[in-house]
Amino acid sequence: MIEVQQLEKNYGFARALKGINFAVQKGEVIGFLGPNGAGKSTTMKILTGYLLPSGGQASVAGLDVVRHSLKVRRNIGYLPETTPLYGEMRVDDYLRFVAEVRGVGWGRRTAAIQRAVELCGLSRVTGKDINELSKGYRQRVGLAQAIVHEPPVLILDEPTSGLDPNQIVEVRKLIKRLGEEHTVVLSTHTLQEVEKSCSRVIIINQGEIVADGTQQELVGKLPSGRLHARVRAPEAALLPACAEAMPGCQVEIVGRGAASGDAIDLTIDAGGGPVEQTFSRLVVQHGWDLLELTRDRATLEDVFRQLTLASQKEALHA
């Protein structure tokens, strides 16, 4: 449904996009992640016909975004970061206006509006002025205008920006429902939105695609995290024994378990190496008690930070 090849965008001497490539298949819900200024919104604006690329190609539903710009827009529902609403209009009048602008025929206009209203949970507010609505409902109206013409592709740029936690949950559920009928690209820098809503993740940083895959695939490429252990052992003997049995591992005592008498809590950083068996064998050999042994699991946040933080630090020092 979407194909991007060597896409570039320059603003003077600044390169916002540096020849990026990705494709989105029918029915996918893609999380387009990146820090502020990474090139997310620039990519979205090119796909939706708001900006011309400086180089490369992009197509939506098989149509080139430059040569067939109007046809591309008919195949896209777009929710920009600032929701395009006319506050003095009633919700139903606004959606009727958008449907007409979008070319929805008179014969199916009422049904299309009713579908958008039901999907977005707007039945209670259709007779109200948009200015009277809460931020959450205004965001729902923005989503309704994006789907009223029943496009195959939805592009949503920061759809939960500025919402409170309850409103975020509601909009997140709505996006999942929309993903059952549309191909969705969700541009955001909020990791929770991607974790809860998306089947695949694309991470962009400084105008380049630095990761593309499912959450499981991306997380699986990182080494597992630190070990957390609780043992009942003499403190003076514990660290030397660990240093001898696990050379190269950083072992640190972080406290004592109040619920376990003289038990010692410690962390073991082995750089992702499999040291559980080594540590367990060490405890048994010394006749100590192993009360707990767990390992931190890598998360999408770990992936994001590893791929974006280092380059940001380099840019600051350049």
**Separation of CA 290 from chain center:** 39
C-beta separation of 31 from 202 below 8 A: yes
Q: What is 2-214's CATH number, 3.40.50.720, 3.40.50.300, 3.40.228.10, 3.90.45.10? A: 3.40.50.300
What is the reported pLDDT for 7? Answer: 97
Is residue 274 predicted with pLDDT exceeding 90? no
- What's the mean pLDDT in 73-88? 90
pLDDT tens-place string over residues 111-155 = 999 999 998 889 999 999 999 998 889 988 999 999 999 999 999
What is the reported pLDDT for 224? Answer: 67
What is the band of 316 on the pLDDT scale with cuts at 50, 70, 90?
A: very low
What is the band of 285 on the pLDDT scale with cuts at 50, 70, 90?
A: very high
- What's the mean pLDDT in 58-74? 94
**How is the beta sheet containing 14-24 ordered, strand by strand?**
14-24, 2-11, 55-60, 63-64
C-beta separation of 100 from 108 below 8 A: no
Reading the block at residue 303, the tokens are: 């992936």
What is the reported pLDDT for 260? Answer: 47
Enumerate residues 6+ apart whose C-beta is below 8 A from 165. none
Indicate where the chain has its CATH 3.40.50.300 domain(s): 2-214
What is the reported pLDDT for 310? Answer: 57
C-beta separation of 142 from 83 below 8 A: yes
Is residue 258 predicted with pLDDT exceeding 80? no
Q: What is the residue-averaged pLDDT of the chain?
A: 88
Whether domain 227-295 has CATH 3.40.50: the reply is: no
Express as a percent the part of the chain with pLDDT over 70: 94
What is the band of 56 on the pLDDT scale with cuts at 50, 70, 90?
A: very high
Is residue 60 predicted with pLDDT exceeding 50? yes
What is the reported pLDDT for 311? Answer: 56
Show the 3-state SS of the chain.
Answer: CEEEEEEEEEECCEEEEEEEEEEECCCCEEEEECCCCCCHHHHHHHHCCCCCCCEEEEEECCEECCCCHHHHHHCEEEECCCCCCCCCCEHHHHHHHHHHHCCCCHHHHHHHHHHHHHHCCCHHHCCCEHHHCCHHHHHHHHHHHHHCCCCCEEEEECCCCCCCHHHHHHHHHHHHHHCCCCEEEEEECCHHHHHHHCCEEEEEECCEEEEEECHHHHHHCCCCCCEEEEEECCHHHHHHHHHHHCCCCEEEEEEECHHHCCCEEEEEECCCCCCHHHHHHHHHHCCCEEEEEEECCCCHHHHHHHHHHHHHHHHHHC
Indicate where the chain has its CATH 3.30.70 domain(s): 227-295
pLDDT tens-place string over residues 196-250 = 888 899 999 999 999 999 988 888 777 667 788 899 988 889 889 999 998 888 8
What is the reported pLDDT for 61? Answer: 92
What is the band of 162 on the pLDDT scale with cuts at 50, 70, 90?
A: confident
Taking the C-alpha atoms of residue 113 and residue 103, their distance in angstroms, rounded to an integer, is 13
Taking the C-alpha atoms of residue 56 and residue 37, their distance in angstroms, rounded to an integer, is 20
What is the band of 257 on the pLDDT scale with cuts at 50, 70, 90?
A: low
**Nearest-5° angle of CA 79, CA 81, CA 85?**
65
What is the band of 172 on the pLDDT scale with cuts at 50, 70, 90?
A: confident
What is the reported pLDDT for 271? Answer: 65
Nearest to 16 by CA among 49, 56, 66, 48: 56
Task: Please state the pTM of the whole predicted model.
Answer: 0.76
